[in-house]
Chain A
Amino acid sequence: MTQPPPVLENEFETEDIFVNMGPQHPSTHGVFRMVLTIDGELITDVTPYVGYMHRGAEKLCETMDYRQGIGYMDRTEYLANFNAELSYVMAVERLAELEVPERATWIRMILCELNRLSSHFMFLGAFGTDVGVFGTAFVYGFRNREVIQDLFEEITGDRLMFAYFRAGGLAWEVPDNFETRVREVLKDSREGLRELDGLMTQNEIFRARTEGVGVITAEDAIDWGTSGPTLRASGVPMDIRRDEPYLFYDQVDFDVITGDHGDVFDRFYGRIREASESIKIIEQCLERLEPGPIVPDRLPRMLRTPAGEVYTRTEAPRGEYGIYLVSKGGNRPHRLKIRSACLSNLQALRDMTIGGYVADAVVILGSLDIVLCEVDR
């Protein structure tokens, strides 16, 4: 009976090293720090640290009346401001039992979907940089995002911090050429998406870097509480716009995009396809847009709500953005809690990264499309 050859263990001494990535690392999309434990090129452990951007937005909102809080919602989620504002004003409206006019709802829907589009363009650009092969993708993505951002500036007056939604409706009427401008932007975006799709999806190096990397199974993704494109990439068809329609999402026709493998590529490609769905939704909204009031007839000067609590959630570009609002009467919230999609998505980072290579850590983090302001609030 022959013995198997002895396994050479510890031919020479090795030890794991710790690599501190962030908080000032350019590819961490803000101030996010993770400590990687590395065995050669393999990642054996990840410890993420969040909280560098914590400004206490939730607590600050408790000291302000309902209108003043809207500006702070913009600042928690600076890439999808309209979606963040929407969650908040919807919570206030439900507490105060306000009826939103039809026109205001359609405009809100158009703006939220446009914001999703601009956020996804930003993701595509930044993700191209993370993968490391393109500076081109960044410029392409930003070129198209800027067109949308210009439209927002024409409507609301500010390029980023809109403060445009109000409990009950909108702050003011959209410009007269709103419809034609939106159609122009959509034409531009469709063209830009096609270009980015050709530039990235069909690139062999890009696919080699992304396919099969950072895989998370559907069960794990659900367990970690991920939502949005991150969850759908794992094959879970969960979309709040379809499952729990708010605004008029039950009246428009769109597909819920899911992936098959739950890898980085699916998370990336899902967003491209989702952006096309957004364009489809906006076009349907424009058909339905009719003149009318944008605020309810009887809107008090200082909004007061009865005591109660409410949780509203919306499908923001990064996932479920929820607002839990407790009121004890009066004109300001007693407690406000922001359910951040990015924070939950970020928790899945450890499962995705362990066992991968160091170079993939940046790609996986990029594929989550985190906004650190939203994580830390």
Chain B
Amino acid sequence: MKGVLKSLGATANAFVRRPVTRQYPEMHRDLPERDRAFPILLWDDDIDEPYCTGCHACERACPVECMTVLMKDNPNHESVGGDSRRRKIIDKFWIDYARCMRCNICVEVCNFEAIAMNNTWTGHEVSVYDRADLVMDLPQLLAQHRAGELDEWVADI
């Protein structure tokens, strides 16, 4: 008798409580602020150019060699009449998301705080039909922060 009442109680409890299932494509769970999806590049709004100078630090530190970096002279540098203090700037940048193992090392070694792990939900929705589409180029890597859609979190050590 006691057991029956107990199980009825469990049923009643399940009847009134809110469901824990989330209807995924429409809604998703809240991510913690330090969530690590794939790395993306940051955009310097003050000067309107990327923070990245193409120094190859992240490329060298990457354990899985998923990055390719090319630098160029900055056409917007002070010496040529621009307003930027970056002598060199990123020319081409590819990150192969299929290889990336999201270890956060590129963020740690970056001297210019130009790269960050995507901590928004879009970083987790990168499924594609072709593997080649997972190789992200510079505009794709910059787009999200440029549009101001990244939740800021800076690691405190």
* Chain A contact residues, CB within 8 Å of chain B: 64, 67-72, 153-158, 161, 163, 171-173, 175, 294-295
Contacts and interface: CB of A to CB of B under 8 A. Distances in A.
Contact of A158 (B62, B102, B157): B102
A157 B63 contact: no
Contacts of A155: 34
Contacts of A294: 157
Given A153-B35, A158-B102, A163-B104, A72 B156 contact: no
Given A172-B156, A173-B156, A173-B157, A68 B32 contact: no
Contacts of B101: 71, 161
Nearest to B117: A157
B35 to A, nearest CB: 5
Interface string B82-123: 000000000000000000011111001000000001010000
A295 B63 contact: no
B38 to A, nearest CB: 12
B55 interface: no
A69 B61 CA distance: 11
Contacts of B80: none
3 cross-chain pairs, A with B, having the tightest CB-CB distances, nearest first: A68-B63, A157-B36, A172-B155
Contact of B104 (A64, A69, A157, A175): A157
A281 to B, nearest CB: 25
Interface residues of B, number: 18
A158 B61 contact: no
A69 B108 CA distance: 15
Given A69-B63, A163-B103, 5 more contacts: A71-B63, A157-B35, A161-B101, A161-B103, A172-B157
A269 B23 CA distance: 38
A294 B102 CA distance: 22
7 contacts: A155-B34, A157-B36, A157-B117, A171-B104, A173-B156, A173-B157, A175-B34
A154 B34 contact: yes
B155 A72 contact: no
A24 B83 CA distance: 62
A185 to B, nearest CB: 14
B121 to A, nearest CB: 14
Interface string B29-67: 000101110000000000000000000000001110000
Given A158-B102, A161-B101, A171-B108, A64 B117 contact: no
A81 to B, nearest CB: 12
Contact of A161 (B35, B102, B119, B155): B102
Contact of B155 (A71, A158, A171): A171
A173 B156 CA distance: 6
B46 to A, nearest CB: 26
A157 B61 CA distance: 20
A157 B34 contact: yes
Contacts of A158: 35-36, 102
A156 B103 CA distance: 10
B109 to A, nearest CB: 8
B63 A72 contact: yes
A295 B157 contact: yes
Nearest to B63: A68
Contacts of B157: 171-173, 294-295
A71 B103 contact: yes
B2 to A, nearest CB: 15
Contacts of B63: 64, 68-69, 71-72
Interface string B15-28: 00000000000000
Contacts of A153: 32, 35
B13 to A, nearest CB: 15
